[in-house]
Amino acid sequence: MILQEVQLIEIEEQEAPQLLEVVMVYLQELGLEDTDYPYLSLYWEEENRKAFWISYNAQNIGFIMVHNYVIDQAFKADHSIAEFYIQAEFRNQGIGKQTLLRLFQHFTKVKWEVGCLRNNIKALKFWQSFIQKMPTQYFHKHELEEAIVFVFTLSEPNEVQY
């Protein structure tokens, strides 16, 4: 895979209906098909929320949503990855890793938090493997009843390579 083929493109408010369609597919994959996503409009109302298309070869193949609401209040992460989705046919090609590298280079602060549902085994393995290979100064895993939360501090986000 040629790494520069992966881009993050900030999602504009007028694209919210298209994003909602993909979010619904994502929630169905998580087994949450009877759920809506009440936070969607907040991504254009609150300054601390950002939503990006994951673009690969000029095609939107997923999304990543970031905010600064965190579970681990003691760690006080700068950013939390709220949602992260890549269409199934594009998984296991290094696109997720490249997406995160681009994201970490986009944001200048280095303290991150990401939560993952316990029953999402593939995502848990991805996150644990990815974070452990990153240059971190701090890493901790919190095991909650329904989710596992990873918190970590990147050494230098602009120099992060996987």
3-159: in CATH 3.40.630.30:
yes
Q: CB 33: neighbour CB atoms within 10 A?
A: 10
Does the CA dihedral 31-40-145-76 come out positive or negative?
positive
Q: Is the pLDDT of residue 162 over 70?
A: no
**pLDDT tens per residue across span 17-30:** 999 999 999 999 98
Give the neighbor-by-neighbor strand order of the sheet with 79-86. Answer: 6-10, 50-56, 59-67, 79-86, 111-117, 147-154, 136-143
Contact 104, 160 (CB under 8 A): yes
| Domain ranges across the chain | 3-159
pTM score above 0.85: yes
Banded pLDDT at 160 (limits 50, 70, 90): low
- Cα(15)–Cα(11) distance, integer angstroms: 6
Amino acid at the residue 70? V
